Amino acid sequence: MIALLANAALVVPWRWLPPPISAFMLREIALERRAVEQRWIPRSAISANLALAVIAAEDQKFPSHHGFDFDSIARATRESRQRPRGASTISQQLAKNLYLWPGRSWLRKGLESYLTLWIEGLWPKARILEVYLNVVEFGPGVYGAAAASERFFGKPASQLSLREASLLAAVLPNPKRLSAARPSDYVRGRAAEIAAIARKRGHGVLDELR
């Protein structure tokens, strides 16, 4: 019972309150000795283009799954070690960013899965996406849509175009090496793919979020 209450205390408050900091931000401050840029804004102040681009890039089944994309997991297990493939959903990535640490250990993956179940069970999808867009890293020390939009494009997050949103989504696999402000050929190409998927899906996908 105590363990369940402790787990609930970790997850329940952020269904309504902005998390003051994430584990990844704390790690940045403590280990990288770098100040972080992050400012919470509600989802209504974030361009729908960014929400759509992140879903297109990271987790196209986000509106319908319950925390895990088992088709992607199955495909990932078939990939060779020379060509690793990510299979984490937005919900899993949020659990990792908010509470855990980077890496590929079985311990971390197990904790991530456990916390994902709690998040998916207690938060609506719209809230999961809102928190994710506010805490995910878009560049070295730059966390969340507000800080990233202002730092890289000089505008509020509400005004991001689909191209700009797609550039931000394209760097998510490795935001410390990939840059939305100075995109490489890879980032530009990946952003074009993301924008094409986003246009095809349309903004109606956001209406599916409960």
Does 29 fall in a domain?
A: no
Confidence at residue 84, expressed as pLDDT on a 0 to 100 scale: 42
Q: What letter would DSSP give residue 13?
A: G
pLDDT in tens, 144-160: 999 999 999 999 999 99
Confidence at residue 112, expressed as pLDDT on a 0 to 100 scale: 95
Number of domains in the chain: 1
Q: Does position 164 have pLDDT exceeding 50, yes or no?
A: yes
Find the domain containing 50 and state its range: 2-12+35-207
CATH number reported for the structural domain that contains residue 182 in this entry: 1.10.3810.10
Does 194 fall in a domain?
A: yes
Does 28 fall in a domain?
A: no
- CA angle 117-120-125, nearest 5°? 160
Confidence at residue 146, expressed as pLDDT on a 0 to 100 scale: 98
Range scoring the smallest mean pLDDT among 65-69, 77-81, 138-142: 77-81
Does 91 fall in a domain?
A: yes
Does 21 fall in a domain?
A: no
DSSP for 16-53, please give it: TSPPS--HHHHHHHHHS----B-----GGGS-HHHHHH
198 close to 162: Cβ distance less than 8 angstroms: yes
171 close to 138: Cβ distance less than 8 angstroms: yes
Does 131 fall in a domain?
A: yes
What average pLDDT does this structure show over 22-48?
95
